[in-house]
Structure 1
C-alpha cells in the first residue's frame, strides 16, 4: 500500500473543527432577506395554509413580526401587500396609502436601520391576477410600464430603500430607473427580478399573496424553464438599463443559471428561495421524512456556493436562530 501514489484528501475532514477551518462557503445572517406579507385590516395574523410558519400580518400586528426579525439580526425585509380592493389596473399598488406603502412607513419609523425592499408588481392588486394591464386576454407590455413606474415612485416616497420589480415586462428596469430619477430618487437602487422563470414552484406564494391569475398563465412574460441562454440575455438587458442587483427566481432548480449570471456580471446576485421550495421541505419535515435544519442549511449553502451574494428566503428566521446557537 505504501508504494501506491494517491492524494489523501480526507486529512482535511478528520474533525468538525478541521472541516470548519477549511470550509469554503459560509452562511451569514447578513446574507438573508426575509419576505413579509402585509394585509389590510385589523388584528390579523393569519397563517398561510400552504406555508407553515409564514403569516399575513395587518399593520397593527406587524410590530411583533418585526421585533423578532430585528432580534435575530436580520437586516433586510421584502414587502408584499394584499389589498382589500382590486381592479383591472391595480390601483392600490401605486396608491400613496397602499398597504405596502403604509407597511414601509411603519417599518422605517420604528425600525429605521432595517432595509425595506418593496416588491414592485401589479398581480396582487389586479382583479385578473396578471402582472400588467390586459386587453382581452393579452398582457400589454408598454401600457404596464407606466403603472409600474407609478408604483415604484410611490414606494420610494413611502421610504423604501430598494425597489424590486418582479413583473418581467420588457423595459421595466429602464422605465423605473427613469421614473425614480425624475422624482428625485436617483439614489434608490433597483433589485431587478432579472431572471424569473414561469415556475410551478410559485404555487404556495399565490395563496399567501392572493395573486393567482384568473385566466391563462404567465408564460408569455415569465421565462421558459427549458432556456438557459435566454437568462443571460434578460440579465444583460437589465444591467444595461440600470439594475443594481440581479435576482434569479426560483433558485434551487436553477443553480446553473445562478452560476452563469455570477460568472457573466459583476452586480450582486440574489437568489429567491421560493415558496414551493420552502413548502416541500416544511411538509417533509413535519412528516418526519427529512431533518429540516440539516436540509435547509445544505440547500441555502448550495445557493451561496453557486454564486448568490444574497438569498431571499422564508427560512431566514430559522437559519438566523441556528447560526446564532452554533456560534455560542
Structure 2
C-alpha cells in the first residue's frame, strides 16, 4: 500500500534497522544450555589424538576428557555425549558391557568431575566395540539380529547406569530398543536415568568423518536398520513409537539434510526434540572456511540457528563449546 505516491506505508525493514532492534524481535535463539558436546575417549592413550577429517576435534585420553567436560560445564552447556574407543574389539562388543570398559570408566570419570553441573550422556550402541562395526550382534549369515541385540543393549544400559550416567542414548535403530532399555533400567532401580532416543537416524553419507573418529571397523552399510533418506513420515512414526516405549527425548540425525523431519517430529511429539549436527556437516563448514570460501563464525551460528528454527530443543554439535563462548560474549 502507498500513501500519496510517497512509497509503501508497510515497511518490514523498520524492524531490521539496528542490531539491538533485530536482537529484540528475533524469533529464534541459540543458547549454551541447548547445546550438547559429543566427546570421544580412546583407551590406552595419554595425549589427545587429532581426527584428520574433523579439524579441532580429538580422541581424548581419560584425563583430557575430564578437562573438556569441566570446560563444558563452565561454559553452561546442556551436556556432553560420550563415545568410547576400545583397544580391543570382538564379535559381540563385550567391551561395551564390561564395567572396566573404556566408555563405562569414562562415564564415572566425567560424573566425578562435573557432578550435577552437566548432563552426562553416553552412546548406547555396540558399533564402536564390535570387530565387524555393526550396531548389533550378527547372525551366522551376517545379518544384524534385532532381538539378540536388544538383550545386549539391556546389559549395556545397566552397565552405563551403574557407572553413573544421567542419560543413555540408544543409537542402534533396533526395533523395540527403548522399551527394552527402559525395562532394564527400571528393574535395576535406575528409574532416574533418562533416555535420549535416536529415533529418526538415517543411513547417511554425512557420517563419514565419524567413522574415523571412532576407528570404525564397518564393512558395507547399515541400511537394513537405519532409515532411508527418502522417508519423512517413517521418521515421525519411529519417534512416536519411541515416545510410547518411554523415551524422554527423541532425536533426528543428521540435522541439516533433515530439517523437514525435525519440524515434523517437533509437531508430532510432546517431549523435547534433539538433533545431531553430525560430523560430515561439521567437516563441510570447516573445509569451506579453511579455504576462505565462507566466513566461519557466522556460518556456524547460522547453521545452529537453522536447526533450532526447524524445531530442535537440543542440538548435539562439535561446535558446542566454541559457540557457547561466542554466545556468551555477545550476551
Measured against the shorter chain, the TM-score band is over 0.9
Residue 194 (1) aligns with residue 195 (2): no
Q: How does 1:161-176 map to 2 (within 5 A)?
A: 161-176=166-181
Structure 1 segments of 4+ aligned residues over 6 angstroms from their partners: none
Q: How does 1:4-153 map to 2 (within 5 A)?
A: 7-113=10-116, 114-135=118-139, 136-153=141-158
Q: TM-score, normalised to structure 2's length?
A: 0.96
The 3-state SS of whatever aligns with 1:111 is helix
**1:115, distance to aligned residue in structure 2 (A):** 1.2
Residue in structure 2 matched with residue 2 of structure 1 by the alignment: 3
Match for 1:203 among 183, 196, 208? 208
The 3-state SS of whatever aligns with 1:139 is coil
How much is the aligned-residue C-alpha RMSD, in angstroms?
Answer: 1.2
**1:42, distance to aligned residue in structure 2 (A):** 3.4
Match for 1:324 among 304, 321, 328? 328
The 3-state SS of whatever aligns with 2:225 is coil
Check the 8 A contact 2:125/2:135 in 1, yes or no.
Answer: yes
Q: Partners in 1 of 2:135 and 2:4 — Cα distance? A: 67
**1:264, distance to aligned residue in structure 2 (A):** 0.7
Query: Which stretch of the first structure deviates more once superposed, 45-54 or 64-73?
Result: 64-73
**1:326, distance to aligned residue in structure 2 (A):** 1.1
Check the 8 A contact 2:3/2:9 in 1, yes or no.
Answer: no
Q: Partners in 1 of 2:235 and 2:191 — Cα distance? A: 27
The 3-state SS of whatever aligns with 2:81 is strand
**1:2, distance to aligned residue in structure 2 (A):** 2.4
Q: Partners in 2 of 1:37 and 1:182 — Cα distance? A: 29
Report the number of matched residues: 326
Residue in structure 2 matched with residue 261 of structure 1 by the alignment: 265
Check the 8 A contact 1:42/1:60 in 2, yes or no.
Answer: no
Q: How big is each residue's C-alpha offset from its partner over 1:302-321, in whole Å with a ceiling of 9 and x where there is no partner? A: 11111000000000011011
Q: What stretches of structure 2 of length at least 5 have no aligned partner?
A: none
Q: TM-score, normalised to structure 1's length?
A: 0.97
